[in-house]
Amino acid sequence: MQNENKQSDTQPDDELSTVRAQNAVLQEQIVELNKRLAQADAEHAEELSFLKQEHAARGQKNQDLNLRYQQTKDEKLKRIGNTITLAKRVAELETEVYVLRKELEFALLSENDGESDCECEDCDSEMTDIDESASEASFVLEKGEAEQSNYSTSLFRSKGSLSPASIVFVG
């Protein structure tokens, strides 16, 4: 019986030492896992920092590109507006020149008409042509901005540099 008591007394000690040994092994594994976790966290933090910097750089580049695009767009619209304004002015000047020529022709014919009282058909048709030209010139003047805008628009379309949606009138 004493042998049995000795065995039963040593058995809990053996179990206790086995559990302690297993516990020590588990503690070492926990320490090793914590080290790996800390290392992975550090690597992740480093990678996250790099990605944040890259994201910020891309955001800045995107802002720069958007700004440059807007400036280019504004410059093009300004040039288009200036060109349309110049085209309007050219049309106005061409109309003025046309009217002045017709007035000069009319004045010259009126002077000549006073000196000679010719009532032939040719002179009558010339006077009719001058009257028609003068009324045509005033009609051109009355058309004003609409015709000049159409002229400018068709001018740009013929060059292929504008679409109808991109035309902006500056006046």
Please say whether the beta carbons of 170 and 79 come within 8 A: no
pTM of the model: 0.39
Angle (CA) 62-64-66 rounded to 5° is 70
Given the structure tokens 């040719």, which residue do they identify?
122
CB 162 within 8 A of CB 156: yes
User: pLDDT tens, 76-103?
Assistant: 999 999 999 999 999 999 999 999 998 8
- Type of residue found at 139: F
Query: Domain coordinates of the chain in residue numbers?
Result: 2-161
pLDDT digits (tens, 9 = 90+) for 100-131: 998 898 888 887 655 545 555 655 565 566 55
- Please determine, for residue 23, whether its predicted confidence score (pLDDT) is greater than 50: yes
Distance CA 48, CA 42 (A): 10
With b meaning 16 or more CB within 10 Å and e meaning fewer, what string describes 74-100? eeeeeebeebbeebbeebeeebeebbe
